[in-house]
Homo-oligomer: A and B are copies of this chain.
Amino acid sequence: MTHRPCRDFRWDGVPVRAYKDGEGPYRGVTRHTLFEASGALPAEWRYFEVEPAGHTTLERHAHVHNVLVLRGTGRALVGDRVHAIGRNDLVHVPPMTWHQFRAGDAPLGFLCLVADDRDRPQLPTPDDIEALRALPAVADFIRT
């Protein structure tokens, strides 16, 4: 498909899917695969939308994320810092770095680019969570 018009953050021919298979430590998130990876361009370009008061999974992995906020505002944990994020802001998540996105009072929508060849996310162990909670700002922020 050459051209996919967009209406209100929904794209012709792009299904609105569950964020992950099955239940998990996330809330109110949808996944939209805007462009599949291919041999010619080995990166998958997705759009995630987090409903008000929702959050993505707190996780880490060897692959990196490149993110651009398309709508709304929210906060993002990357490593040991919580960033206030808004429209068109860029976020880079380095390898093996804990990260989580939370929406504000309106839907938070962001583009997220990943390599086609990538590892599966890891969830924090109880020890990881204890270590993350050592920082008060992180302790207040994370949802597990």
Which segment of A50-58, A109-117, A122-130, A133-141 sits at the interface?
Answer: A109-117
In chain A, positions 15-64 with a C-beta closer than 8 Å to chain B are 34-35, 38, 40-43, 45, 62-64
Instruction: Report the Cα distance A38→B115, complex, angstroms.
Output: 10
Q: Is A115's CB under 8 angstroms from B6's CB?
A: no
The tally of residues in A whose CB lies under 8 Å from a CB in B reads: 43
Contact indicator B38/A41 (Cβ below 8 Å): no
Q: How far is the CA of A136 from the CA of B93 in the complex (A)?
A: 47
Check B6 against A45 for contact (C-beta < 8 Å). no
Q: Beyond A66-B45, A90-B34, A92-B35, is A115–B40 a contact (Cβ under 8 Å)?
A: yes
